[in-house]
Chain A
Amino acid sequence: MRKLILLFVLLCGMYSCTQVITIDLNSTAPKLVVEGTVTNHPGPDTISLSMTTNYFAPVGVNPLAGAAVYISDNAGNFDTLRQISPGKYLTHTTVGVIGRTYYLTVAANGQKYTAFSTMPDTVGIDSMSSAERVPRFGSSGLPSFSITCSFTDPAFAGHYYGFRLYHNGILLDNIIDNRVIDDKLIVGTAQHVKFRNSALLVGDSVRVDLVCMDKAGYDFFNTLKETLTSGSPFSAPPANPITNLSNGAIGYFGAQSYKSKTIQLQ
């Protein structure tokens, strides 16, 4: 809708122009960024740690090596993660069980950061279908496909969905690249979510993960999307995504469950 309003302004015949300007941004102390999940599928699960870099510094991950990372749960399990490459930490013994709450602890640079998340129940994909998309007039190339994934939201509210798309077994679109859905407005109804990607061609196999997350996960991804698209006059004033980490760390640690379905494009 915001894009449409922006289009509205452009169509108003108002001409506008852009130019590159110099802005003096004060540098801030680097902050810990956490990206990690525990899932209901066989592990190991990965926790990635990095530090923020200055805004006008060249883009690139600044991994945090040598942190102490632990995951425990409310069933009394405790797991010390091991670092496999700088900033990447893998679980040993953690098993994702629906309904269980997981606690992450990161100790680094003399500080301690924590987060917790409860794994929601799965919702299955009822069916998947594909449709050939007619190439746009004037564009060349092979006809691509759109995928429709259907599922039924349970009769009670409080479900939060995300989607992952795999193309021939390789991750194509992660949760942040797709919609995240809060079932507030759609409780108990059948949903048909459409994915389009010009990479989807005849003969390919496509797997969709229907990811269920807790409210903190929905809030994080929803606000992360806002952050990624903010800056336009028709968006809210920019803000950092809502994190579930303590002590000034940013990012999200989540316990997620998912069910998958695969389709061959014909």
Chain B
Amino acid sequence: MKCTRLLLLACIIAFPALVSAQQYTISGTVKDSANGESVLGSSVFIPELKTGVNTNSYGFFSITLPAGKYTVEVSYIGRKTKKIAVDLQKNVKLNIELSDLSNELEGVEITGQHTDKNVTSTTMSSDHLDMAEIKAIPVLFGETDILKTITLLPGVMSAGEGNTGFYVRGGGADQNLVLLDEATVYNASHLLGFFSVFNGDAVKDMTLFKGGIPAEYGGRLASVLDVHMNDGNEKQYTVKGGIGIIASRLTIEGPIKKDRGSFIISGRRTYADVFLHLFGDSPALRASSLYFYDLNLKANYRITDRDRIFLSGYFGRDVFDAAGNFGIDYGNATGTLRWNHIFTDKLFLNTSAIVSDYHYNINITSGSSNFGITSGIRDYQFKLAFDYFLNSKNKVKFGVETTNHIFTPGTISTNGTSLITDLNIAQEHAIESAAYISDEVTLTSKLSFVAGLRYVVYDEIGPGTVFHYDTTGAITDTSKYSKNQIIQQYTSLEPRLSARYILNKNSSVKASYCRTSQFIQLLSNTTASAPTDLWVPSSQVIKPQLCDQYALGYFRNFHDNMFETSVEVYYKAMQNQIDYKPGADLVLNPVVESQLYFGTGRSYGIEFMVKKSIGKFTGWVAYTLSRTERQFQYINNDSWYPAKQDRPNDISTVLMYNANKKWSFGAVWIYATGNAVTFPVAQYEYEGHVVAYYSDRNAYRMPAYHRLDLSATLKRPKRKHFEGEWEFSIYNAYDRHNAYSIEFQQDPNNPAQTQAVMTWLFGIIPSVTYNFKF
């Protein structure tokens, strides 16, 4: 309620601006001059009034000002700032094209690109990364991976080596909303998490919200990772690709009609199985297959100056087949159809229809028997999102959305003689609908805030059978529900508030509060992520997860914005968190809810960041000191214990050096406290077996994790239209043996003695990739 009042207050404050003298609107789009890609989140600033807006997710902006003479300054990281003089005596349309800085890096003193967005923007706890920045960072096997890159940001931690899962401010890997062109990506990993589904050639940019999450996003507790695909080159046809040691990529893009519409097709496939077939000498190995592929497709077209449609799709699949004995394939498919419509110079509408699907199939053949398992989740979503650039002091966003989730927990189909009978765990259905409104208010030149409110209605609907359990998890009763009958309804009112106060030219303080809720959760009780992890809806037993996050930050830039620094503290309280009973059976269990424990969680920490994004030498150092704990009635006697994602110390250092037109270099060093784990502390014998007696949950730590990666890029001189570059990288340059797991076993030299054996995955790995473009 407090927030509605705030909104009202904001409108009242804004009102005088509405009735004052002649007002005109400057609106338009910002594009890249080379390929016509919309530039999202670029700053459009009016220095005379010290006010401005950012372009929205489609590169559109609008700003309303009193009549007069102004300079419009348009800037974006890595692009040359453009200044346009405008004599505002009527509404003005500006279609601005920004050119790339890298073409003129050498020798030329570039002015104007110094951005103080770090200090002046109202948002905090968020990071925006452009693909050009991401590509400069060295990675495993030379495969650019945005999910690996974001783990280098403060407050974001990798879920582990060879795992694209990430933890944001103590949230679990399933508490991140991962969006690709607005469609939810349910499993962002390939090869059990060694690679992410995002093909670097198809991605334009990404924004990560760790806190102060804007009201237009909802459905996950900890963070939002909003990834945009490239729209395709509007100016000319280009082909680019890369040949690496794990995978190769090929992208074709070009205009459908010059400056009006474009398309992009981007594919990637691994070829480990090709080597398997070439070098494997057993017939079983030759008959096996192992690969993944990604295919990104997108087309857009401006039907009129006010209407633009986008169609984007992603298809990816992992296939593994062990010579017909065991096969698993899994993957995501998403499709987004969007229509941008500009009603007036101030009112922008995006309408989206989205489909998202994740499922896996397992096939097991043993002798004459054969059985297959299928499980997954599918979403159908519809969204209306308005951007209303009311005046220079108010930017309003509002919209509605509804999602139909269809869960397929699992079906088993059998052939031949099998111990297992056919099983079909009924599909579950849920509808999650939301309405939101937010207003970004520039109150004075020093104080601005974004006040937002999101209201969510969640219905678990029939058909379905609901089991009722007693405290031990035994079924006491069942009730049946017919189609579309509401089984359980939950609502959630979520205030989102962030504010910024500018202290002086170089520094500001920001604060935010946000409440988030999550109605679907991933059940996974293994240490590593597996494709068989199961998404389940909130129900009468599983209450929706809730999180309240408070954050406070101090932002200061030095040396004419050359160095950006920030310190943020946060506190999060989480309700209805899930953990698992000992020996919980999650796969194909019709009564999976009986396997869960429910408790609370908390996370708090402080994040330091120093970043230099200008000059030959760029990079950042991020340090996070945090704790993430949970409290469950039946775990560790109801006392707080460290969560899986608790890593008190986390350091990421990223350095990039652009030596000259030919050579550039990169280095990454990371350090993190070891995972909290449960170790055996005693032993006994039972039926002749030596059995370990384990400590309290997560009472011990793995050894600390640290690693140095290096890379060097050699650009070949451009010949005609052909550009080529070599990327050399060394992963884990000082060959640190980071523990992936620790297991305990008999000492082979002394069978009466037990010893601890650590498994590590990657030693030093050099790799080379060749990228081309023409």
Chain A positions within 8 Å of B, measured between CB atoms, are 1-2, 4-5, 7-9, 11-14, 16-23, 25-28, 30-31, 33, 35, 50-62, 174-177, 184-186, 189, 191-193, 219, 222-224, 226-228, 231-242, 250-251
In the assembly, what is the distance between CA of A250 and CA of B681, in Å?
Answer: 14
- Whether B417 is near chain A, meaning CB under 8 Å from some CB there, is yes
**B675-713 residues at the A interface, CB under 8 angstroms:** 677-695, 697-698, 700, 703
In the complex, residue of chain B having the shortest beta-carbon distance to the beta carbon of A177:
B687
- Whether B426 is near chain A, meaning CB under 8 Å from some CB there, is no
B682 engages A31 (CB within 8 Å): yes
Pick out which of these stretches binds chain A: B22-30, B206-214, B344-352, B520-528: B520-528
B582 engages A176 (CB within 8 Å): no
> CB within 8 A of B684: which of A18, A21, A233, A250?
A250
In the complex, residue of chain B having the shortest beta-carbon distance to the beta carbon of A234:
B526
A55 engages B420 (CB within 8 Å): no
B760 engages A22 (CB within 8 Å): no
In the complex, residue of chain A having the shortest beta-carbon distance to the beta carbon of B753:
A58
In the assembly, what is the distance between CA of A256 and CA of B681, in Å?
Answer: 31
* CB<8 Å pairs between A and B, sample of 20: A1-B362, A12-B290, A23-B756, A28-B693, A31-B682, A31-B684, A35-B686, A52-B684, A55-B682, A58-B752, A59-B683, A61-B684, A61-B685, A185-B421, A185-B423, A231-B742, A231-B744, A232-B741, A238-B692, A239-B697
A8 engages B583 (CB within 8 Å): no
A189 engages B421 (CB within 8 Å): yes
B338 CB to closest chain A CB (Å) equals 36
In the complex, residue of chain B having the shortest beta-carbon distance to the beta carbon of A157:
B475
Q: Mark B339-369, 1 if CB is under 8 A from A, else 0.
A: 0000000000000000000000010100000
In the assembly, what is the distance between CA of A189 and CA of B681, in Å?
Answer: 42
If A11-B322, A52-B682, A236-B525 touch, whether A17 touches B759 (CB-CB below 8 Å) is yes
If A30-B682, A59-B754 touch, whether A228 touches B272 (CB-CB below 8 Å) is no
Which B residues are in CB contact (< 8 Å) with A8? Answer: 192, 290, 320, 322, 328
- Whether B305 is near chain A, meaning CB under 8 Å from some CB there, is no
A183 CB to closest chain B CB (Å) equals 11
In the assembly, what is the distance between CA of A35 and CA of B752, in Å?
Answer: 22
If A13-B275, A17-B737 touch, whether A237 touches B678 (CB-CB below 8 Å) is yes
B530 engages A5 (CB within 8 Å): yes
A232 CB to closest chain B CB (Å) equals 7
Q: What 4 A-B pairs come out closest when comparing CB atoms?
A: A239-B582, A223-B583, A52-B682, A233-B528
Which A residues are in CB contact (< 8 Å) with B688? Answer: 174
- Whether B763 is near chain A, meaning CB under 8 Å from some CB there, is yes
> CB within 8 A of B686: which of A18, A33, A56?
A33
Q: Which of B423, B580, B681 has the most CB of A within 10 A?
A: B681
**B405-447 residues at the A interface, CB under 8 angstroms:** 417, 419-421, 423
- Whether B108 is near chain A, meaning CB under 8 Å from some CB there, is no
A109 CB to closest chain B CB (Å) equals 16
Using C-beta atoms within 8 Å of the partner chain, give the interface range for chain B. 35 or more
A176 engages B689 (CB within 8 Å): yes
- Whether B102 is near chain A, meaning CB under 8 Å from some CB there, is no
B737 engages A55 (CB within 8 Å): no
Which A residues are in CB contact (< 8 Å) with B326? Answer: 4, 7
Which A residues are in CB contact (< 8 Å) with B698? Answer: 237
A12 engages B525 (CB within 8 Å): no
> CB within 8 A of B272: which of A13, A16, A222, A231?
A13
Which B residues are in CB contact (< 8 Å) with A18? Answer: 757-760
In the complex, residue of chain A having the shortest beta-carbon distance to the beta carbon of B697:
A237
> CB within 8 A of A231: which of B583, B590, B741?
B741
In the assembly, what is the distance between CA of A51 and CA of B580, in Å?
Answer: 28
A20 engages B756 (CB within 8 Å): yes
B586 CB to closest chain A CB (Å) equals 9
Q: A33-B685, A237-B698 are in contact. List 16 more A-B contacts (CB 8 A).
A: A11-B320, A11-B322, A12-B272, A18-B759, A25-B695, A33-B686, A50-B684, A59-B754, A186-B419, A227-B694, A231-B744, A233-B528, A234-B528, A236-B525, A237-B527, A238-B678
- Whether B740 is near chain A, meaning CB under 8 Å from some CB there, is yes
**B382-407 residues at the A interface, CB under 8 angstroms:** none
In the assembly, what is the distance between CA of A159 and CA of B166, in Å?
Answer: 42
A31 engages B693 (CB within 8 Å): yes
In the assembly, what is the distance between CA of A260 and CA of B590, in Å?
Answer: 32
B583 engages A242 (CB within 8 Å): yes
B527 engages A234 (CB within 8 Å): yes
If A176-B686, A231-B743, A233-B740 touch, whether A26 touches B681 (CB-CB below 8 Å) is yes
Which B residues are in CB contact (< 8 Å) with A224? Answer: 686, 691
A53 engages B682 (CB within 8 Å): yes
A1 engages B587 (CB within 8 Å): yes
B104 CB to closest chain A CB (Å) equals 42
A11 engages B288 (CB within 8 Å): yes
> CB within 8 A of B680: which of A33, A191, A238?
A238
If A12-B272, A237-B525, A242-B583 touch, whether A7 touches B322 (CB-CB below 8 Å) is yes
If A14-B761, A186-B419, A234-B527 touch, whether A239 touches B322 (CB-CB below 8 Å) is no
- Whether B66 is near chain A, meaning CB under 8 Å from some CB there, is no
Which A residues are in CB contact (< 8 Å) with B526? Answer: 2, 233-236
Which B residues are in CB contact (< 8 Å) with A237? Answer: 525, 527, 644, 677-678, 697-698
**B733-765 residues at the A interface, CB under 8 angstroms:** 737, 739-744, 751-763
Which A residues are in CB contact (< 8 Å) with B760? Answer: 16-19
If A56-B753, A61-B685 touch, whether A240 touches B761 (CB-CB below 8 Å) is no
B758 engages A21 (CB within 8 Å): yes
In the assembly, what is the distance between CA of A163 and CA of B525, in Å?
Answer: 28
Which A residues are in CB contact (< 8 Å) with B763? Answer: 17
- Whether B86 is near chain A, meaning CB under 8 Å from some CB there, is no
Which A residues are in CB contact (< 8 Å) with B15? Answer: none
In the assembly, what is the distance between CA of A15 and CA of B754, in Å?
Answer: 25
A21 engages B686 (CB within 8 Å): no
Which A residues are in CB contact (< 8 Å) with B753? Answer: 56, 58-59
Which B residues are in CB contact (< 8 Å) with A174? Answer: 687-688
B467 CB to closest chain A CB (Å) equals 12
If A9-B192, A28-B682 touch, whether A55 touches B692 (CB-CB below 8 Å) is yes
- Whether B191 is near chain A, meaning CB under 8 Å from some CB there, is yes
Which B residues are in CB contact (< 8 Å) with A53? Answer: 682-684
Which B residues are in CB contact (< 8 Å) with A242? Answer: 582-583
A34 CB to closest chain B CB (Å) equals 10
Which B residues are in CB contact (< 8 Å) with A62? Answer: 684
In the assembly, what is the distance between CA of A33 and CA of B362, in Å?
Answer: 40
In the assembly, what is the distance between CA of A191 and CA of B421, in Å?
Answer: 10
Which A residues are in CB contact (< 8 Å) with B525? Answer: 236-237
In the assembly, what is the distance between CA of A226 and CA of B526, in Å?
Answer: 12
A226 engages B744 (CB within 8 Å): no
A22 engages B756 (CB within 8 Å): yes
- Whether B722 is near chain A, meaning CB under 8 Å from some CB there, is no
In the assembly, what is the distance between CA of A124 and CA of B276, in Å?
Answer: 49
B193 CB to closest chain A CB (Å) equals 10
Q: Mark B582-598, 1 if CB is under 8 A from A, else 0.
A: 11100110100000000
In the assembly, what is the distance between CA of A186 and CA of B527, in Å?
Answer: 30
In the complex, residue of chain B having the shortest beta-carbon distance to the beta carbon of A62:
B684
- Whether B766 is near chain A, meaning CB under 8 Å from some CB there, is no
B272 engages A21 (CB within 8 Å): no
A176 engages B694 (CB within 8 Å): no
B759 engages A16 (CB within 8 Å): yes
A44 CB to closest chain B CB (Å) equals 19
In the assembly, what is the distance between CA of A232 and CA of B692, in Å?
Answer: 14
- Whether B558 is near chain A, meaning CB under 8 Å from some CB there, is no
B322 engages A240 (CB within 8 Å): no
**B442-482 residues at the A interface, CB under 8 angstroms:** none
Which A residues are in CB contact (< 8 Å) with B272? Answer: 12-13
Which B residues are in CB contact (< 8 Å) with A226? Answer: 582-583
- Whether B78 is near chain A, meaning CB under 8 Å from some CB there, is no
B527 CB to closest chain A CB (Å) equals 4
A182 CB to closest chain B CB (Å) equals 9
In the assembly, what is the distance between CA of A53 and CA of B693, in Å?
Answer: 9
In the assembly, what is the distance between CA of A2 and CA of B698, in Å?
Answer: 22
In the assembly, what is the distance between CA of A16 and CA of B192, in Å?
Answer: 15
